[in-house]
Amino acid sequence: MARPVTDGWLLARALRTPGNTLALDPAGWAALIATARAEQMIGTLAYRLEGLRVPQAVARLLADARASAAQGRVVALWEAEAARRAMAPIGVPVVLLKGTAFVAADLKAGQGRSIGDLDILVPRDRIDAVEAALISAGWEWVKPDPYDDDYYRRWMHELPPLIHRERDRMIDVHHTILPLTARITPDAAGLLAWSVEVEPGVRILSRNDMLVHAAAHLFADGDLAGGMRNLWDVYCLVDQFGTNGLAERAAHHGLGREVARALRLSAALYGQGARLNPADHLYLRRLTARDGWGRATRPFTRLGFYVRSHWLRMPPAMLVRHLWTKWRGGHRGDIV
């Protein structure tokens, strides 16, 4: 390397070619670990580097991260099981999304992955029944703010978040994978119809739909926060299952462009590389905006993507109203 890498590429290269980390000096290791923690990928890195002859201090730290991820997996699967038990009486299976789905099905993308909330997908016409079943099983509303609540119910693709009163864990109940205000409307019924059972009452999306969801979440919804991790998911899913039929499925959901971009960017970061267009480079600049202390960098690029994420989600007049309400409420959003 001509000059030391000082952004998210340090992490991307370590994941792509673990053996190269053996050339790192102590400062390089410190930067890699801080970056991986900030991107919530320390568990992923720890599994990826397992067995390498890294310095002892690093080996200990990575062993801790693996133990922590293993415990996170237990807790995530138990939340899924709790939701299954709560929803069994109303006959709605739990369709797991994102991290919990990966660990439930033992996918490569789930190895060491940090998992926050439990995300599930349910049929839109059963959402009231699901809400009632969860509340009777001990989940409670998180947000008392009436604007937020109203906003969720009218415009979002999910219920306002619920938290379990004894276990302190959140559940996000989705009825589709993009906000209703977004300009793209994926086939939510099709997602459910093509889902596959991993055990009785517990299902995950089909492999192509998991990729479509990851891409939708990254490029048609969010501001790319957590993007390095999401693209690692994409890389692992493609590596494990290939892309057979993916383009057709993505087109069916109206997300062909987003899926194609996810494939290019994940290959650029973690795989064999890809032919990138100018916009792709801008995305990568945002995705890797992280320094060796784990700090967010490139504030203007981040701000641009933050505004874009809202633009995608809402019609302009609504966006103005939303940002105004948020601003008045003192929420500035996590843009820097």
Partner 1 sequence: MRHVFSVRIGPIGFRIGSDWRAPIAQMESLYTDYPGPHDGVPDFNVRLFAARPWRRVIRPSVMIGGDFVLPEAAPLPLAQGLLAAEMGMNLQMALGQRRYLLLHASVVERDGRALVMTGMSGAGKSTLAALLGTRGWRLMGDEFALLDPATGLIHAFPRLISLKNAAIGVAEAAVPDGVFGPLLPGTPKGDIRHLVPNAAAIAGMDRAADPALILFPRFGFEAAERYVAPSEVFVRLTQASTNYVAMGERGFDALTRLVTTVPARAIDYPDTDRALAQVEALWRDL
Partner 2 sequence: MSDESQEVMPQDGVNRRRALMLGAVGATAIVSIRPALAQTAASVVTCEIPVPDPGRAGSYIAADGSLVPSGTAGAFAPPGKPYKGDAVKVALNGGQLPGTSYEQNRAYTNYIRRLQSGTSGFTCFASLQMPRG
Partner 3 sequence: MARAESLRIVHLDSFTAVYHRSSGITHLITAPAPEILATLGEAGMTFAALTERLATDYDLGDLDADALAARLDELVASGLVSAA
Residue type for position 321? R
Q: Which residue has the tokens 């590389």?
A: 273
3 state SS of 175 = coil
Residue type for position 9? W
Could you say whether residue 74 binds partner 1 (CB under 8 A)?
A: yes
All residues at 6 or more sequence positions from 306 whose CB lies less than 8 Å from its CB, including other chains: 223, 333, 335
Q: Which two tokens stand for residue 239?
A: 């590596």
In this structure, what DSSP letter does residue 19 have? G
CB 40, min distance to partner 2, A: 16
Could you say whether residue 75 binds partner 3 (CB under 8 A)?
A: yes
Q: Which is nearer to partner 3, 170 or 247 (CB)?
A: 170
User: Which strand (E) or helix (H) includes residue 141?
Assistant: strand 139-141
CB 74, min distance to partner 3, A: 5
By CB under 8 A, name the one of 29, 152, 155, 194 that touches partner 1: 29
Residue 77's binding partner among partner 1, partner 3, partner 2, none (Cβ under 5 to 8 angstroms by kind) is: partner 3
CB 187, min distance to partner 1, A: 37
Burial zone of 200 (CB within 10 Å; 0-12 exposed, 13-18 middle, 19+ buried): exposed
Q: Which stretch binds partner 1 (CB under 8 A): 25-33, 135-143, 174-182, 185-193?
A: 25-33
Residue 165's binding partner among partner 1, partner 2, partner 3, none (Cβ under 5 to 8 angstroms by kind) is: partner 2
Burial zone of 264 (CB within 10 Å; 0-12 exposed, 13-18 middle, 19+ buried): buried
Q: Distance between CA 211 and CA 42 in Å, rounded?
A: 22
Could you say whether residue 76 binds partner 1 (CB under 8 A)?
A: no
By CB under 8 A, name the one of 17, 20, 71, 185 that touches partner 3: 71
Residue 222's binding partner among partner 3, partner 1, partner 2, none (Cβ under 5 to 8 angstroms by kind) is: none
Q: Which is nearer to partner 2, 125 or 168 (CB)?
A: 168
List residues binding partner 3 (CB under 8 A).
71, 74-75, 77-78, 81-82, 167
